[in-house]
Amino acid sequence: MARIAYLGLGVMGAPMARHLIAAGHHVTVYNRTAEKARAWVAEHGGSHAPTPAAAAGNADVVISCVGADKDLEEVTLGADGAFRNMRPGTLFIDHTTVSARIARHLAEEGRARDILCLDAPVSGGQAGAENGQLAIMCGGTEIAFASAEPIMRAYGARIVHIGPDGHGQLTKMANQIAIANAVQGVAESLHFATEAGLDTDKVLDAISGGSAQSWQMVNRWKTMSEGSFDFGFAVEWMRKDLGLTLDEARRNGAKLPVTALLDQFYADIVAMGGSRQDTSSLIRRLTGK
């Protein structure tokens, strides 16, 4: 069993760290809000540290799941960052969704310090984290991936090594493109069925068994129709992810006209007060509710 430092106890990080405890690892947690770390330890065990550097000092593995590029840079390379106190040979796994640029930068810093680095963003939302059923897309060396995979099995159901440094983050961008487009398709389909006076439960029964079926349709059609949007991944985080995606597309030349439009649709939801609602709230643009 490994000594693991876990940095970030948000809606994704807290259950992932809990799965590591359940798997028998010794886990030291750090959270920017110290009271949250103390409460987590009181409930689940392990220990907490006042800084990322303190958490990482005796760790075999350091895992992060924070907010954005600047947050990740702070907990790794900041004045109290984990990299400053990690021993040679330590494994670093980052589950934050960030830019490919910072993933590659941390990998370079890691090589200079003899630290194995893996960028490993996740998909599956809060429910996937709670149930240990996340999809994890990984970028880094074969050695880093082989070292990290047994650890990630505690909360990952599908773990794929995509390629070298940054490729995990690029894959997460492809994932978010597909999700945003699927959500809008379901929203428009449901809106059309409602305006046409159809029984939407029967419509779902009819079309979810054919080629129109998607995870978003099966899991969000009914909740969309009920106006319920409290299912984890918030609009403000999707906007962050789509911003990263569109920035990367400008660099690599990919044409993403519909994704760019959907980013603006999500901006409309934010203006409607829905920044903390989940991504299926896109239907509010159509219903005006």
**Residues recognised as catalytic:** 172
Helix (H/G/I), strand (E/B), else coil: 67: coil
Distance of CA 267 to the CA centre of its chain: 20
Alpha helices in 45-166 (DSSP H): 52-56, 69-77, 100-113, 125-131, 142-152
DSSP codes joined into one string, 253-288: T---HHHHHHHHHHHHHHHTT-TTSBGGGGGHHHH-
How many Cβ atoms from other residues are within 10 Å of residue 200's Cβ?
Answer: 18
Distance of CA 130 to the CA centre of its chain: 13
The full length of the chain comes to 289
User: Do residues 94 and 119 touch, judged by C-beta distance below 8 A?
Assistant: yes
